[in-house]
Chain A
Amino acid sequence: MNTPNVSANLDVAPQPDEQAKREGFALGLPPRAALLPRSGWIALIAFIIAMGICVPVAALVLPESSTFHLSAYSMTLVGKLMCYAIGALALDLVWGYCGILSLGHALFFALGGYAMGMYLMRSIGREGNYQSDLPDFMVFLDWHKLPWYWQGTEHLWYALLLVILVPGILAWVFGFFTFRSRVKGVYLSIITQAMTFAAMLLFYRNETGFGGNNGFTDFKRIAGFPITSASTRTVLFLMTLGVLILAFIAARAIVTSKLGRVVTGVRDGEARLMFLGYSPLSYKLFIWTVSAVLCGIAGALYVPQVGIINPNEMSPGNSIEMAIWVAVGGRGTLIGPIIGAFAVNGAKSFFTANFPEYWLFFLGLIFTLVPLLLPSGIMGLIDIALRKKKAGGHSH
């Protein structure tokens, strides 16, 4: 057998007939898992259609008095959670499938957010407090022209390009040097966190030109539409949902591909993989960069919905929190992190609204208990339940 063992974390069992069909190939690869089982596709499409109809209706058509009316608050909340879910998905790609625990994904998230924020700041135009062409904070700092890196950010297409390029290039460069030096495990986690911490300190400074402490806020419009109007919000919400689904399908496609198997091999036995003749560097670099870009996109969707971006967003704590979403949902499952992001952040919203002083206790407990008692997260629980049902009571 000259292939690494990859079946351990694929939650969809290979179809037997497919396996038989592929047995004829010379390589003798075990069959690839389908992207999604048929029932999964049907459920997904039904869900998309339902959301595509229900959300606009609930937000725009129904009167505010109706029980089914989707308020701006709840739409923002769910939109925010979906952005977090995209971030968690991105982190699961590297942590769950490649064994790289990044504690710096909040940085990529925030960088995407800042790139978007730059566009949003520029599109305020002269409606700021100082009625200047420059963003307010620059007027406040007595700057007279835009720094070079702000050039062109008045175009949405360029900002979107930045959303992809900035986290992507940073991740590639960082990954190239760390992976080439074979930094891994806990050390890599610490380095990613140090990078995030350094970036946060940099962004906190006024001289950096990103608004210092306050970051960017008071956005007025996006692509010409008023940013706070219900219809703009609905569109952003649906876009986020679309991106989340696309990201999920793309991630699924990556991890079930041959490349994805090698990446999983890196996780399970990097040394063995190298002896088999693979160079893990490019595989790690690819998955790492894709993950960072995905995270950046999540940040870019997050900022117009939440209406603010500041350096706090890239604090080390946020990155670690992202890891806990993945852990709670179940890493290496793709769907788990999405559930985890919703579960943990839902709990956060609930606690901070009702028992603000207990939220950190609760979060700390999740951090402590999930790795101890629930190492494969919510998905692990579901998995166990399903197996039990199938095996008629036999335990996992």
Chain B
Amino acid sequence: MTDSILRFARRGLCAILIACMPLAAFAALSADDLAPLAADDFDAKSAAIDKLIANADAPSIAVLSALADGSLVATDAGRVLIQTDDGNKDPLTNKTVEAPDAQPVTLNNLLRSKVSGAVSGLQLASPDIEKRRAAIDELLKNADPSIKPLVDKARAQETDPTLKKRLDTLWATTALHDTDANKRLEAVQLVAARHDLDMNELLRPIVVKNADGTFAEPDARVRAAAQAGIEELDSIQRRGEIVGTIFAGLSLGSVLLLAALGLAITYGLIGVINMAHGEFLMIGAYATYVVQNLVQHYAPGAFNWYPLFAVPVSFAAAALVGIVLERLVLKHLYGRPLETLLTTFGISLILIQATRTIFGAQNVQVTNPSWMSGGVSVMQNLILPYNRLTILGFSLVVVLLAWVVLTKTRLGLFVRAVTQNRRMAACVGVKTARVDSYAFAFGAGIAGLGGCALSQIGNIGPDLGQSYIIDSFMTVVLGGVGQLAGTVIGGFGLGLVSKTTRSVLKACSP
């Protein structure tokens, strides 16, 4: 109770102080101060705006806000007026003036940002804490040294501790070029303490050496502080990059995993290297595209949940093509691996060309549902996109599904039996040919799921599968043929290795 009263009293006091301050400290605004705004000289305009900012009394604020929203006009005679709904008003007297020849005051980009900064700066003195917070945030993004007097003032007055801290940083960004070395040092320390990567561009110029060997910053203490800050920021940056690389690796790994899982099953079972496996990805992706369009057309309200329909459809589409392929072609080639290689390559050509004929050679667009766009920011320079996170989770679910099918179902039992010893399995009554077909369809279906996932992170074109086929072979070979766990390790391992090597090579190359 007492607390809130005290706070109320403090706030009231604050408001009074703010109200009195300008009157006490500065001379009132005069018409001469405003005249340069009506002229064409931008340097003079800039000086006039500086003066307005320094003044910061009610008429100055009015003029600045009018400048910011473009309602400041000037007559040919050099009189500056504010355009309102009730006609043009003189900012000094607040009286309506007849001025038919008034033209808007023009600004260039530099001045425009200065004015908008100043308007935010003026908000710093607002009694409303939310407005002050917004103003500080705005200014931290883009602080112009000209608002320094406003920041100085606000810093002296601010009572809220969190806001005061932020004001300190804001002040520091404006005080980096102060003439007083101690102030500069304080400013640099404050800036460095923010651990904000955006501050790099403020700190870097301080340690720059001029062409003649002298430093841009004469004081060694300031330079040292800046250097320490830069190193700190660099290490933050590095940490972010490392985590980012690991995530990119895992993300690539999850895609490879989805692409390779089906291949691992079919290769382990039938010993068939299926060059058309990448095309099952492509079929899954196009199935997703079709489902997306259908949902958009017939049930736009459910658009956010179209992946729920797309997942089973892409599985079914790829599995169907897979089973047809196995029955019609591959069945006749078992035991002739090299011919199978060529045949499946031919089939991939046919599938690609068929897709091109049906959907066109151009890439098609699959839109992320809204809950999959955007990302979670875990570090300053690292945003993990939701779609990649979803796919990472999805791939693990698919692995789990494959594991369940292979270990907990009758089909899985047969598949494992045939993989281990085909003849023996046939002897005890397993219909190996049928198992082959089902397993092939299952592998193809998983690739279809992979395609559905891929459609959420990249372009979909007829050549989609081609770019994954070699990588997925590598994954299968790396992980060990016919081993689910091996494929998981192979996929993530390959993804991580490929992304880390890439970033290391990038760091090493000039």
A, B from the same assembly:
yes
Interface residues of A (CB under 8 A from B): 95, 101, 103, 185-187, 189-190, 193-194, 197, 316, 320, 323-324, 327, 357, 360-361, 363-368, 370-372, 375
* Contact of B352 with A360 in the complex, beta carbons under 8 Å: yes
Enumerate chain B residues within 8 angstroms of A187, measured Cβ to Cβ: 477
Query: Bound complex: CA of A368 vs CA of B345, how far in Å?
Result: 8
* Contact of B474 with A320 in the complex, beta carbons under 8 Å: no
Interface residue B95 (Cβ < 8 Å from any Cβ of A): no
Sorted nearest first, the 4 A-B pairs with minimum C-beta distance are A367-B346, A364-B350, A364-B349, A371-B339
Known: A363-B346, A372-B332. 17 other contacts (CB 8 A): A95-B338, A186-B273, A189-B338, A190-B477, A316-B470, A320-B342, A327-B342, A357-B357, A360-B352, A361-B350, A364-B349, A364-B353, A367-B342, A367-B349, A370-B342, A371-B342, A375-B339
Q: How many residues of B contact A (CB 8 A)?
A: 28
Main secondary structure of the interface of B (DSSP, over half): helix
Enumerate chain B residues within 8 angstroms of A320, measured Cβ to Cβ: 275, 342, 345
Contact A190-B346, Cβ < 8 Å, known A101-B341, A197-B470, A372-B332: no
Query: Bound complex: CA of A372 vs CA of B346, how far in Å?
Result: 12
Interface residue B347 (Cβ < 8 Å from any Cβ of A): yes
Interface residue B431 (Cβ < 8 Å from any Cβ of A): no
Query: Bound complex: CA of A367 vs CA of B276, how far in Å?
Result: 12
Interface residue B337 (Cβ < 8 Å from any Cβ of A): yes
* Contact of A363 with B342 in the complex, beta carbons under 8 Å: no
Main secondary structure of the interface of A (DSSP, over half): helix
Enumerate chain B residues within 8 angstroms of A323, measured Cβ to Cβ: 342
Interface residue B329 (Cβ < 8 Å from any Cβ of A): yes
Contact A364-B273, Cβ < 8 Å, known A197-B470, A323-B342, A324-B342: no
Pairs across A and B, CB under 8 Å, 14 listed: A189-B273, A197-B470, A320-B342, A327-B342, A357-B357, A364-B348, A365-B350, A368-B346, A368-B350, A370-B342, A371-B333, A371-B339, A372-B329, A372-B333
Interface residues of B in 320-340 (CB under 8 A from A): 329, 332-333, 336-340
Closest chain-B Cβ to A147's Cβ sits at a distance in Å of 16
Per-residue CB proximity of B473-486 to A under 8 Å, as 1/0?
11001000000000
Enumerate chain A residues within 8 angstroms of B352, measured Cβ to Cβ: 360
Closest chain-B Cβ to A242's Cβ sits at a distance in Å of 31
Contact A360-B342, Cβ < 8 Å, known A190-B273, A197-B470, A372-B333: no
* Contact of A185 with B338 in the complex, beta carbons under 8 Å: yes
Query: Bound complex: CA of A49 vs CA of B352, how far in Å?
Result: 45
Interface residue B498 (Cβ < 8 Å from any Cβ of A): no
Closest B residue to A197 using CB positions: B470
Enumerate chain B residues within 8 angstroms of A193, measured Cβ to Cβ: 470
Closest chain-A Cβ to B114's Cβ sits at a distance in Å of 41
Enumerate chain A residues within 8 angstroms of B341, measured Cβ to Cβ: 101, 103, 186, 189
* Contact of B338 with A364 in the complex, beta carbons under 8 Å: no
Query: Bound complex: CA of A327 vs CA of B352, how far in Å?
Result: 22
* Contact of A363 with B349 in the complex, beta carbons under 8 Å: yes
* Contact of B343 with A371 in the complex, beta carbons under 8 Å: yes
Interface residues of B in 269-323 (CB under 8 A from A): 273, 275
- Residue A367 contacts which of B336, B347, B357 (CB distance < 8 angstroms)? B347
- Which of A187, A320, A364 has the most B CB atoms < 10 Å from its CB? A364
* Contact of B349 with A360 in the complex, beta carbons under 8 Å: yes
- Which of B346, B348, B356, B473 has the most A CB atoms < 10 Å from its CB? B346
* Contact of A364 with B477 in the complex, beta carbons under 8 Å: no
Closest B residue to A188 using CB positions: B338
Enumerate chain B residues within 8 angstroms of A324, measured Cβ to Cβ: 342, 346
Enumerate chain B residues within 8 angstroms of A361, measured Cβ to Cβ: 349-350, 353-354
Query: Bound complex: CA of A189 vs CA of B275, how far in Å?
Result: 12
Enumerate chain B residues within 8 angstroms of A365, measured Cβ to Cβ: 346, 350
Query: Bound complex: CA of A357 vs CA of B342, how far in Å?
Result: 21
* Contact of B474 with A194 in the complex, beta carbons under 8 Å: yes
Enumerate chain B residues within 8 angstroms of A190, measured Cβ to Cβ: 273, 473, 477
* Contact of B470 with A368 in the complex, beta carbons under 8 Å: no
Enumerate chain B residues within 8 angstroms of A366, measured Cβ to Cβ: 346
- Residue A368 contacts which of B329, B337, B356 (CB distance < 8 angstroms)? B329
Enumerate chain A residues within 8 angstroms of B346, measured Cβ to Cβ: 324, 363-368
Closest A residue to B476 using CB positions: A190
How many CB-defined contacts (below 8 Å) exist between A and B?
Answer: 77
Interface residues of B in 117-176 (CB under 8 A from A): none
Closest A residue to B353 using CB positions: A360
Query: Bound complex: CA of A193 vs CA of B275, how far in Å?
Result: 12
Query: Bound complex: CA of A367 vs CA of B357, how far in Å?
Result: 19
Closest chain-B Cβ to A328's Cβ sits at a distance in Å of 10
* Contact of B477 with A372 in the complex, beta carbons under 8 Å: no
* Contact of A367 with B273 in the complex, beta carbons under 8 Å: no
Query: Bound complex: CA of A241 vs CA of B36, how far in Å?
Result: 88
Enumerate chain A residues within 8 angstroms of B332, measured Cβ to Cβ: 372
Closest A residue to B347 using CB positions: A368
Query: Bound complex: CA of A186 vs CA of B349, how far in Å?
Result: 20
Query: Bound complex: CA of A185 vs CA of B336, how far in Å?
Result: 10
Closest chain-A Cβ to B28's Cβ sits at a distance in Å of 63
Interface residues of B in 354-405 (CB under 8 A from A): 354, 356-357
* Contact of B470 with A186 in the complex, beta carbons under 8 Å: no
Closest chain-A Cβ to B122's Cβ sits at a distance in Å of 52
Enumerate chain B residues within 8 angstroms of A194, measured Cβ to Cβ: 470, 473-474
Enumerate chain B residues within 8 angstroms of A101, measured Cβ to Cβ: 338, 341
* Contact of B353 with A357 in the complex, beta carbons under 8 Å: yes
Enumerate chain B residues within 8 angstroms of A357, measured Cβ to Cβ: 353, 356-357
Closest chain-B Cβ to A366's Cβ sits at a distance in Å of 7
Enumerate chain B residues within 8 angstroms of A360, measured Cβ to Cβ: 349-350, 352-353, 356
Enumerate chain A residues within 8 angstroms of B343, measured Cβ to Cβ: 367-368, 371-372
Closest B residue to A357 using CB positions: B357
* Contact of B470 with A371 in the complex, beta carbons under 8 Å: no
Contact A367-B345, Cβ < 8 Å, known A186-B273, A187-B477: yes
- Which of B332, B342, B353 has the most A CB atoms < 10 Å from its CB? B342
Query: Bound complex: CA of A327 vs CA of B504, how far in Å?
Result: 43
Closest A residue to B348 using CB positions: A364
Enumerate chain A residues within 8 angstroms of B329, measured Cβ to Cβ: 368, 372
Per-residue CB proximity of B68-106 to A under 8 Å, as 1/0?
000000000000000000000000000000000000000
Closest chain-B Cβ to A195's Cβ sits at a distance in Å of 11
Enumerate chain A residues within 8 angstroms of B338, measured Cβ to Cβ: 95, 101, 185-186, 189
Closest chain-A Cβ to B487's Cβ sits at a distance in Å of 16
Enumerate chain B residues within 8 angstroms of A185, measured Cβ to Cβ: 337-338
* Contact of A371 with B353 in the complex, beta carbons under 8 Å: no
Enumerate chain A residues within 8 angstroms of B336, measured Cβ to Cβ: 371
Closest B residue to A370 using CB positions: B342
Closest B residue to A375 using CB positions: B339
Query: Bound complex: CA of A375 vs CA of B336, how far in Å?
Result: 10
Interface residues of B in 456-492 (CB under 8 A from A): 470, 473-474, 477
- Which of A187, A366, A372 has the most B CB atoms < 10 Å from its CB? A372
Query: Bound complex: CA of A371 vs CA of B338, how far in Å?
Result: 9
Closest B residue to A189 using CB positions: B341
* Contact of B337 with A186 in the complex, beta carbons under 8 Å: yes
Enumerate chain B residues within 8 angstroms of A316, measured Cβ to Cβ: 470
Query: Bound complex: CA of A372 vs CA of B275, how far in Å?
Result: 16
Query: Bound complex: CA of A40 vs CA of B411, how far in Å?
Result: 58
Query: Bound complex: CA of A361 vs CA of B358, how far in Å?
Result: 13
Closest chain-B Cβ to A348's Cβ sits at a distance in Å of 12
Query: Bound complex: CA of A370 vs CA of B339, how far in Å?
Result: 9
Query: Bound complex: CA of A101 vs CA of B275, how far in Å?
Result: 15
Query: Bound complex: CA of A276 vs CA of B281, how far in Å?
Result: 47
Contact A364-B470, Cβ < 8 Å, known A185-B338, A323-B342, A371-B342: no
Closest A residue to B469 using CB positions: A316
Enumerate chain A residues within 8 angstroms of B353, measured Cβ to Cβ: 357, 360-361, 364
